Structure 1
Amino acid sequence: MFRMVQRPIGLLATSLVFLSGPFLHAQAPILDEPGYKPTLTFDVATIRLAPPPGPNFHVSVSSPAHSSRFEATNLPMKTLLQIAYGFDAPIAGAPDWVANTFYDIQARSDEAADARLAKLPENEVRLEKRNAIRVLLAERMDLKTHLETRNSAIYNLVIFKGGVKMQPVPTPPPPADGEPSPPPPPSNVQTHGSQHGLEFVGTSAPLRAITAALSAMVEAPVVDKTGLTGTYNYTLQFGREWSARDPESWPSIFTAVQEQLGLKLEAVHEDVPNLIVDTITKPTEN
């Protein structure tokens, strides 16, 4: 599970969002496997308006890879849309409350669904859980969307001059004959707020996790063009709106990515699928 924690610094913007589990794959909002038809839905789900953000405000998402359970605290609906449809598609047409109203969500299916998910490969689990969230959005919020190709601002993530500054996680030694391969070390990313800005601390993080986080911060798709295939430990510190007047504010996210990760966000305009929100209503208490 990836958890975002804010130290007491006042109210933060809705950019305090990080995602876990099978949703770390930043994908366009189309079926990755056209021949695979997900069917998972939630048997029990509650969506409640979160209390007003206070000094200890935090955003968290828990979605175990081989369980139907999905839980979120203080989650903006815009982020739930991104979880359901992918982080590589700009969202257009949504009312303002989708980005600036926070909700607590608890949803799950039954034990039979959990047993089925446990037997599926990761990519199919991701599609199943996306489907369950899409159905939830349609049933509880009357969500209707369509895809429309528009010329939009996106960012390509490339290696900056001087090379990567993140610490690569060593590949585990091959198993002995007849022994199963050891599981990869779990990925973990924590985000801390301070008067200087935001700090991301990543452990065993693949590039897809990094691009997903950056997409949320720059509010535009970030496409991995680095060619890197490993996992990395890193710390990324960058300023935000509330730290602009702090004389010790951390640099902009664009400068920080270059100086601290050895990567670069290159702005381009391309024709990409946009997720157009035709209708959405606020969920009623349940």
Structure 2
Amino acid sequence: MWSFKMNIVGPMLLSGVLLVTELVCVAKTPPVEQPKQQPGTCCAQGFDVVSIKQTKENSDNVLMFSREDGFNAQNVHVAALLNYAFDAHEYQIIGLPDWARSTTFDVVGKFSDPNEVALKKATLEEREEWVAKILVERFHLVSHKEKRVMPVYDLTVSKDGFKAKQSQPATVDQGHLADSVNPQQGMLYATNRSIFGKSAPFSDLAPLLSGIVNRSVIDKTGVTGSYDIKLVWTPEQAMLSNAPQSSQGPPDIYTALQQQLGLRLSSSKAPVDVLVIDSISFPIAN
């Protein structure tokens, strides 16, 4: 399960959202707490019109984004909607039926008379609440949060030391104006085989890794500050496939972390926030 969201309006690069085949996550610490409606917030009643249809054609392309007049998701599993609404990675969602992980849907939510000014000011938390309301009203979701002791990974510095380059303070002039507005600046991005970012807070790395290795990653490195980070690996699925692998290709993510960043993941156990699904129903299409 992948999370890649930013609090902006329009197409968003999974914490508002654009998810496509290769793009999988941007770091955001997952609280898993049930969104609560606050009196007086923007459009607290949720979308006026919601359309849900089961996807007819199989496709690996997944699209999910928040826009000025609503929300649009194409070819998404219910697990992806739960991820968006509750910031819960796949390993944090307990009790979800098989159909909710395998059946895909097209979901559209719209406001019939949108207040454009208010919608532009809507926070990420408010937008998450709107999607949570779809899950409750159309999928009849009943859930609760709790902590459970689960397998985790401890992220530590390897014996060879941390290898990422610490970011230098940015200087802006006309000749480098394009660099100053680089969307990679100050944030980590990820595909299914790489993590990259410039002047990115190191604290963002562990939450991002959690979504990739499908297990909570606890930062025990003691590393602080911002860094230029680049990590490239071969996905486990590719290694397990019958397709021929290049001997020069990158290693698995665990080896890549040690070789490229001087970090290691060690198995452990710890309490983890989880979202327990008490009940959920297949929606009636409209």
CA, structure 1 residues 209+285, in 2 after alignment: closer, same or farther (shift >3 Å)? Answer: farther
Distance 1:269 1:62, change over 3 A: same
Q: Distance in 2 between matches of 1:4 and 1:145?
A: 25
How many angstroms apart in 1 are the aligned matches of 2:208 and 2:58? 21
In percent, how many aligned pairs have the same letter? 25
Q: Is the aligned partner of 1:186 residue 2:192?
A: no
C-alpha displacement of 1:144 = 0.5
Q: Flag structure 2 segments of 5+ consecutive residues without an equivalent.
A: 1-11, 174-179
The Cα of 1:207 is off from its aligned counterpart by 5.0
Which one of the candidate residues 116, 119, 131 is aligned to 2:118? 116
In structure 2, relative to structure 1, the CA distance for the partners of 1:173 and 1:96 (3 Å cut) is same
**CA RMSD of the aligned region, Å?**
3.7
Distance 1:72 1:132 in 2: 13
C-alpha distance in 2 between matches for 1:102 and 1:35 = 27
The aligned counterpart of 1:53 is 58
1:202 equivalent to 2:196? Answer: yes
1:230 and 2:226 matched:
yes
Q: 1:131: which partner in 2?
A: 129
- Change beyond 3 A, Cα 1:43–1:280: same
Residues in 1 aligned to 2:103 and 2:51: alpha-carbon distance in whole angstroms: 16
CA contact (8 A) 2:51 2:109 kept: yes
Match of 1:28 in 2: 31
CA distance in 1, matches of 2:37, 2:114: 26
SS class of match (1:78): helix
> Match of 1:96, as an amino acid?
D
* Cα distance in structure 2, aligned partners of 1:190 and 1:271: 26
Aligned to 2:88: 87
Listed one character per residue, the Cα deviations across residues 186-229 of structure 1 (whole Å, up to 9, x for unaligned) are 247463xxxxxx42253445557644543233222234445444
Q: Which moved more, 1:215-224 or 1:268-277?
A: 215-224
Distance of 1:208 and 1:138 partners within structure 2: 33
Name 1:243's counterpart in structure 2. Answer: 239
Contact 1:18 1:61 in 2 (8 A): no
Q: Is the 8 A contact 2:232 2:250 kept in 1?
A: no
Tell whether 2:148 aligns with 1:146. no
Q: Which amino acid aligns with 1:157?
A: L
**Can you give the 5+ residue segments of structure 1 that lack an aligned partner in the other structure?**
7-15, 176-182, 192-197
Which residue does 2:9 correspond to in 1? none
Indicate conservation of the 8 Å contact 2:93/2:277, yes or no. Answer: yes
| TM-score, length-scaled by structure 1 | 0.70
| Structure whose alpha-carbon radius of gyration is higher | 2
Number of residue pairs the alignment of both structures matches? 252
1:207–1:229 Cα contact (<8 Å) kept: yes
C-alpha distance 265-40 of structure 1, shift in aligned 2 (>3 A): farther
Alignment of 1:69-80 (within 5 A): 69-80=70-81
Q: CA deviation at 1:143?
A: 0.5
Per the TM alignment, residue 133 of structure 1 is displaced from its structure 2 partner at its CA by 1.2
Which residue matches 2:170? 172
